[in-house]
Amino acid sequence: MAVSSCPRVSAAFECRSEPDFCGGPHRPEAFASGGRFSGKASSVPSHQIFGASALSSLIFRFPPNFVRQLSTKARRNCSNIGVAQVVAASWSADSAAAAAASASAAAAASVEASVEVSVVESSGSDVQYEDLADEKASFLGFDGTLTIHAGERLGRGIVTDAITTPVVNTSAYFFKKTAELIDFKEKRRASFEYGRYGNPTTVVLEEKISALEGAESTVIMASGMCASTVMLLALVPPGGHMVTTTDCYRRTRIFIETFLPKLGVEVTVIDPADTEALKSALDKNNVTLFFTESPTNPFLRCVDIELVSELCHRKGALVCIDSTFATPLNQKTLSLGADLVLHSATKYIAGHNDVIAGCISGSEKLVSTIRNLHHVLGGVLNPNAAYLIIRGMKTLHLRVQQQNSTALRMAKILEAHPKVKCVYYPGLPSHPEHHIAKRQMTGFGGVVSFEVDGDLTTTIKFVDALKIPYIAPSFGGCESIVDQPAIMSYWDLNQSERAKYGIQDNLVRFSFGVEDFEDLKADILQALESI
């Protein structure tokens, strides 16, 4: 039996008449003063108002604090008019009225000055509870202490039948006794201990991503860059050697080229399709890790994951693929042979341009190594953000299907347009790695990069003429986004420096959202016609 103690309150509650299903007389005159009951004297005696027949014809509208003062179980059973009658009657100044109401209630309950409501749990209850202490919190003597500990310190209900995943906002987890803490330290008891080491909400997200990737384990972090940097620091030792590719996210390149050398790490940079260069680097150096994107940013180059994994594993090197552009739906990176797969979950996985996160999936052994360093460095994902990603992932397959379709259709239209010089999209036969993408991907993604036939100013005019997409960084969300990499990501470099990375002034990266295809098509065509 769950017991909840409800202190006496003076707040008024509203009630309204309903048809009297028990045949009792209506008494609308009792509520002439706005339909509120305040416990004060009225023209109708309280015992008449709260008679058994009258109570059966009333539905009470309780004040906001009422639901907070009932136990979770009582709240679930507040449809039981007997409980409502007992509590309502206790607010009457007339103790006789309270007794009358109590007698008329179907549920067995006793009404005292403090109003204790006893609720019998049904055998079919689908809400589970931790053991609640039977004794009252006698040590909580003052309001200041009650506001902190009441309802929590002696245990609380754990809702297991909610459809959505609860958000657990806590920075630490307590142990009831020191023995429990010792059991945790000696790995006989599971707990998160501290928020930087994990959270029930983020664990749900990690397990969901692991299931999609076919991974033993996943670690979620505060951003894609956080995931990349922690992974590199955890797996490439000081004085080690790694291989990466020419085309990649610029911030990742900056970290690899400027920070890792401070640790004595040497880096070999190769073309994404140059397997001979990879073989040479593996033969000449003690390579620890091969890390690249597939497809890459912004030219959507594709790496033969199966082949590079085979080459690297022969030499004892690990393979990590950033599969953000592909998504777990378009490409099963781990099944192709990679040891780890990384995502900026900000993009397609979250999918709504409203949260920043990153994740790494792979074997329990490798992910644990990365997780341990993550626990030291921080970069923890807030549980509210984890909830947003969980919610976003429920439509991931629908969004990606739409984005795949729109991008492929528009890529074909753009390639045939006279005002477009070149289109970069792995779904086109003209793409240099189309044969690879076709073999290892089930869809080609929602991003299309292309070069407008014109200079920097002409390309700006095209971008500004677009009406649907936002001019912004990022990609993969429900809203279409367009950017000119020469300005958005490389504006701090001069034209010749940008050209070293293949970034021309007329390059456009278009991330298709889930808007209707015909609207997007019409918008892009009218923008091209404006230049």
Q: Residues with catalytic annotation?
A: 196, 249, 322, 347
Residue 222 to residue 24: CA distance in whole angstroms: 62
Inter-CA distances, 503 with 225, 413, 422, 484, 506, Å: 21, 23, 13, 10, 8
Residue written as tokens 């003052």?
142
Token code pair at residue 99 = 């007794």
Q: How many CB atoms lie within 10 A of CB 100?
A: 20
Residue 274 to residue 59: CA distance in whole angstroms: 76
The answer to whether residues 231 and 342 touch, using CB atoms and an 8 Å cutoff, is yes
Residue 290 to residue 440: CA distance in whole angstroms: 18
Token code pair at residue 518 = 């015909």
DSSP state of 1: -
The answer to whether residues 227 and 216 touch, using CB atoms and an 8 Å cutoff, is no
Residue 301 to residue 432: CA distance in whole angstroms: 8
Residue 69 to residue 7: CA distance in whole angstroms: 8
DSSP state of 131: P
Residue 512 to residue 447: CA distance in whole angstroms: 6
- Four-CA torsion 211, 214, 216, 219, nearest 10 degrees: -60
